[in-house]
Amino acid sequence: MFRSINVVSGEVLFEREPQTWQAFFKQFHHLRVKQQEYASLSVPPRTALLSKLADKLSCHRERLAEMICEEVGRCLRECLAELDKSIELIRYYVRLAPELLAHKTIATQASLSQVRFEPLGVVLAVMPWNYPVWQVLRFAVPALCAGNACVVKPAPSVAGVTAALFELVGDDLPFQAAWLTDNDTLKAIEVCDALAFTGSTETGRYLAAHAGWHLKKTVLELGGSNAFIVMPDADLEQAAKDACYSRFRDAGQSCNAAKRIIVTEAVAEDFITLFLSECAKLKIGNPKHHETSLAPLHRQDLRERVHTQVEDAVKNGAELLCGGYIESGPGWFYPATVLDKVTPEARVYREEVFGPVAVLLRATDPEHAVELANDNPFGLGASIYSADEAAAWRYAEKLQTGAVYINRHTSSDLRLPFGGVKASGYGRELSEFGLYEFVNVKSYWQK
């Protein structure tokens, strides 16, 4: 069942049954035909259709943001920011796609040789619940620019937002929702031409293995446990503010958040004092209220998992500096929690913590800080705070991640590729590199 629930009140907001495989298969064949017609268009008419979608999203920005707030639980201002970034994403590719997808003539011994970027066909996306508009469009917009059709299997708990989004999409674009069961999702991978997945590493491995068996192109954006490294010469006040913001925004439910805060011993005590002071300013409450800065978690089972991870850390020697208890009352709230002196035996040392829990690790020196950062299965992003920018760049080159931010918390920029290594997945989204993920880079040679 696809069912959206108000995370504060528990009210059911939207529900629908999954579609049958027969219904999806019919939808898929119609989409296949539509994709071929759409791919025959040049790039400017495609981007013109996307530009209209951006205008529609802009007109319905407040309504969609409120729906995300209710269904996901994130603060309303964070949901508005998601819509703004999604609209900006579309307009970014509308501007750049004609240039980036233009045929490239290459000088060879041929009279004419070119590289062209042609669509793969129908791309299936299996999407998460935490950013139900941004995640979908981050994958789909560049794929649509390239002439692909996109079909999206949404997370069951954000069905209402998904339905509202695709109501705005309408019939102009080859871009549709697929209300599939898990088993039928595997069958959909087999008939589609490529797969984009954002979600947990465990599920990503499973879907990618199935796609690999059927030789389908995949892009995986999986979990993250980003290191936030505080060097001895860092601006501690700024680092503490940024670490608090990055760890606790979106109630800690972001793959790209600072999750492991690695502090060199020389400044550990001073930094932790400043960090705890910033954490104390966070206000738990209704995510629609302006003064709320720490929203509830999305589901009860997610809160239980986070709390179990915290209890395990304490059992294995970590020191609980604040938080670490289940909030009473309606809504799946969890307080800002800080664990110091976390040991390698604790689950949080290696697992992703998808909630408002900061893991503090103490490093003896900068080299040890880099070792701790790399001693983790994930490799999405990392931050380094240091007054010595040249040294920070040298350490950044040693980090096994898809991105490094110097004197800023990890984020994403439309103009830069986004993705990770190791258990954080492979492939890239955003920028020109994201545009080229779902194309056939095809060579032409004429005697």
Residues serving a catalytic function are 221, 255
Partners of 262 in the beta sheet? 229, 361
d(CA 38, CA 144): 9
First to last CA, the chain: 58
- The closest alpha carbon to 176, from 187, 162, 189, belongs to 162
Please tell me what DSSP assigns to residue 330.
S
| 8 Å CB contact between 28 and 185 | no
Asked if residues 437 and 427 have their Cβ atoms less than 8 Å apart, the reply is yes
Phi (first) and psi of residue 150, to 5 degrees: -130, 130
For residues 429 and 135, give the distance between their C-alpha atoms in angstroms, rounded to a whole number: 10
For residue 343 the two structure tokens come to 């040991």
Rounded CA gap, 202 and 184, in Å? 18
Structure token pair of residue 43: 């790039």
Inter-CA distances, 199 with 207, 254, 416, 439, Å: 11, 10, 21, 23
**285 CB burial (10 A radius; 0-12, 13-18, 19+):** middle
Do 236 and 278 form a contact (C-beta atoms < 8 A)?
Answer: no
CA 101 to mean position of chain CA atoms: 25
